Amino acid sequence: MPVHTIALLVAVGLLCLVTARVVTMLFRYAGARVITCPENQQHAGVSLRMGRVLGSGLVSRPNLQLSTCSRWPEMAGCGQECLSQIAERPEECLVRTILTKWYAGKNCIYCNQPFQSIEWSVRKPALLIEGRGSLACDSVPAEELPGTLANAQPVCFACHTATGWVRGHPDQVTDRSNQLK
């Protein structure tokens, strides 16, 4: 086998390893999170500086640093002690993990269909919140998510879309539910 073919195979192999590491770090560290602020013991929504995570994490343990925090700008100079919560359990504080666990075993409040696998990129479920109607689950700020989930009911994507359309276009809807009896 020619030397240039071997070099090409080694380069492709290294590229595959680097790509796998980057994808793993993106799934583990990218996204909004809910942490408990060590300063006031309240929930805060944070996200990480992914450039730093990816740059440092290719060859060693990723260097974590916040890029956003719901307590900023007032607390922008904090020591970022909350990063230890992310380092210990990076997936557990992700908003999508918290929501996935919350929807598990529940049925839609309208159609009673069970929530199984959730398609987060296409068909996001919603939350029925008293006085506010159904809201897309990603419209709730991360720091408010735990309190919101305590008082919300699950709504599937289809029912959320339908109820939103009915609310937005009441003049184009005919309610025949009383004729079914």
Average pLDDT of the residues in 50-77: 89
Q: Which of 110, 117, 116, 120 is nearest to 158 (CA)?
A: 110
Quote the percentage of the chain above a pLDDT of 70: 96
Least confident of 1-5, 69-73, 121-125, 146-150: 1-5
Rounded Cα distance between 124 and 157, Å, is: 6
Q: What is the mean pLDDT of residues 56-68?
A: 89
Does residue 14 have a pLDDT over 70?
yes
pLDDT band at 20 (very low <50, low <70, confident <90, very high): confident
- State yes or no: pLDDT of 181 exceeds 70: no
Residue 61: which pLDDT band, with cuts at 50, 70 and 90? confident
Q: What is the pLDDT of residue 25?
A: 85
Average pLDDT for 156-167 = 88
pLDDT of residue 172: 75
What's the distance, Cα to Cα, between the start and end of the chain in Å? 79
Note the pLDDT of residue 103.
96
pTM for this one?
A: 0.81
Phi and psi at residue 105, to the nearest 5°: 80, 0
**Residue ranges per structural domain of the chain:** 30-93, 95-173
